[in-house]
Amino acid sequence: MNLKIAVLPGDYIGPEVMDAALPVLEKTLKKHGHALECSVHPVGGAGIDACGKALPDETLAACDAADAILFGSVGGPKWKDVPRDEQPERGALLPLRKHFELFANVRPGLLLPSLAQASPLAPARIPDGIDMVCIRELTGGIYFGRPKQTTTLPNGELEAVDTMRYRTSEIERITDVAVAAARARKRRTICLVDKSNVLETSVLWNKIVSERVAKTAPDVALTHLLVDNAAMQLVANPGQFDVLLTENMFGDILSDEMAVICGSLGMLASASIGAKKNRFGFPFGLYEPSGGSAPDIAGQDKANPCAQILSAALMLRYSFGLNEAAAEIEAAVRSAIDAGTRTADIAFGGDAVGTGKMAAEILARI
């Protein structure tokens, strides 16, 4: 295979963790007999600085021409005075998700046994560890619903409105992703998280997901939690979760919570995939760490590169079907961590290494 990837490092720690991840990706692919063709393009604040736009035309064109996107992170204080809709997140990340209809966001929540100490949860809460996956709808709901605006009322007050909107087909297709994820796992259980005691959209989610699972996946068990309860259950008894399925904003919030109970946001990889297929017939996708651009630690060799490296592994699995190569990267990360190599976010008081050293230890294990 000759993998064509658009590499979008972005801002602050984005380029640092991308520099750490690319050699791991290259070495793994070479070892498995595949060629890698990366084209690197500015995005987010870097796009604004270089081309006056968070998502420059040439960057989008390169993504269109690629088999997958490896994304770093965007945003930060430097661009806080840019008009809101042109800021890195709203001007680049959300349009990319929408442009490619990347409706399914997959975030694995795995607490490595050797990282149990890095979890904020008491060991008694996690007797069997955590091994779950969050499936978040990514191109609908309140992030994109119209109207979305701020207006001045006749009395001079400001009023802002966001709209949460979902339709059957959007819910069905993300349910299918959750079913596939559940079938690839031992427990085969989906927990639908919504707010169906209050929201119309959640009532629809509940109805559509229940019908879809009953009709297409009798082998998969479906449970249900209201989102406030789910937020509580995640810290009280996270071991109960297998596949968590939810809408865009709930998934944004709960996946951060999931990440931190698994040790650190710096470990949280993600895959955003849609219906479009790449040259190899696999889903086109965007792969990114979920932790953000971390301006506070940028440029100090402190960022945890694991989420970026694990995102590259997800890319190999979902967009190229290279399951063994993906598993090899995941095993290398695990082995480096088991051997005690930790960046500050997961060192938990022990000795910490920098981004470069962490990446080198992972690379050496490929």
Q: Which of 11, 27, 195, 318 is catalytic?
A: 195
Find the binder of ligand IPM among 67, 170, 194, 252 (CB under 6 A): 252
> Out of Mn ion, ligand IPM, none, which partner does residue 330 contact, by CB within 5 to 8 A per kind?
none
Q: Are 295 and 269 in contact (CB under 8 A)?
A: no
Separation between Cα atoms, residue 157 and residue 56, nearest integer Å: 36
Q: Which of 252, 287, 302, 345 is catalytic?
A: 252
> Out of Mn ion, ligand IPM, none, which partner does residue 93 contact, by CB within 5 to 8 A per kind?
ligand IPM
176 catalytic? Reply is: no
Q: Are 333 and 306 in contact (CB under 8 A)?
A: yes
Q: Is 131 in the site for ligand IPM (CB under 6 A)?
A: no
Site string for ligand IPM, 287-326 (x = CB under 6 A): ---x------------------------------------
Q: Is 247 in the site for ligand IPM (CB under 6 A)?
A: no
> Out of Mn ion, ligand IPM, none, which partner does residue 361 contact, by CB within 5 to 8 A per kind?
none
Helices (H) and strands (E) in the chain, counts: 13, 12
Query: Edge-to-edge strand order for the sheet containing 271-277?
Result: 35-40, 2-10, 68-73, 283-287, 271-277, 104-110, 131-137, 243-246, 189-194, 221-226
Nearer to ligand IPM, 117 or 163 (CB): 163
Q: Which of 12, 143, 287, 318 is catalytic?
A: 143
- State the pairing for strand pair 283-287/271-277: antiparallel
143 catalytic? Reply is: yes
- What number of CA atoms fall less than 13 Å from residue 21's CA on the CB side? 33
What's the closest the beta carbon of residue 252 comes to ligand IPM, in angstroms? 4
Q: Which of 19, 162, 176, 256 is catalytic?
A: 256
The residue type found at 346 is: I
**Secondary structure of residue 65 in the 3-state scheme:** helix
- State the pairing for strand pair 68-73/283-287: parallel
12 catalytic? Reply is: no
Q: Is 247 in the site for Mn ion (CB under 5 A)?
A: no
> Out of Mn ion, ligand IPM, none, which partner does residue 268 contact, by CB within 5 to 8 A per kind?
none
Q: Is 126 in the site for ligand IPM (CB under 6 A)?
A: no
Q: Are 268 and 133 in contact (CB under 8 A)?
A: no
Nearer to ligand IPM, 59 or 87 (CB): 87
252 catalytic? Reply is: yes
Distances (CA, A) of 15 to 129, 316, 352: 32, 20, 21
% helix / strand / coil in the chain, to the nearest 5?
50, 20, 30
Q: Considering CB under 5 A, how many residues would be counted as binding Mn ion? A: 1
Nearer to ligand IPM, 8 or 353 (CB): 8
What's the closest the beta carbon of residue 84 comes to ligand IPM, in angstroms? 12
Q: Which of 57, 228, 296, 338 is catalytic?
A: 228
What's the closest the beta carbon of residue 293 comes to ligand IPM, in angstroms? 9
What's the closest the beta carbon of residue 252 comes to Mn ion, in angstroms? 4
The structure tokens listed for 245 are 């399925």
> Per residue in 78-94, is it b (16+ CB within 10 Å) or e — as a string?
bbeeeeeeebbbbbbbb
Find the binder of Mn ion among 16, 131, 247, 252 (CB under 5 A): 252
Instruction: Determine if the peptide bond prior to 147 is cis (ω within 30°).
Output: yes
| Nearest residue to ligand IPM, by Cβ distance, number only | 89
Distances (CA, A) of 67 to 27, 102, 277: 19, 14, 8
Separation between Cα atoms, residue 43 and residue 178, nearest integer Å: 30
Separation between Cα atoms, residue 180 and residue 243, nearest integer Å: 10
Site string for ligand IPM, 85-124 (x = CB under 6 A): ----x---x-------------------------------
195 catalytic? Reply is: yes
What's the closest the beta carbon of residue 196 comes to ligand IPM, in angstroms? 22
Partners of residue 7 on adjacent β-strands: 40, 70
Name the residues that contact ligand IPM, by CB under 6 A. 89, 93, 252, 290
Catalytic residue IDs: 143, 195, 228, 252, 256
Name the residues that contact Mn ion, by CB under 5 A. 252
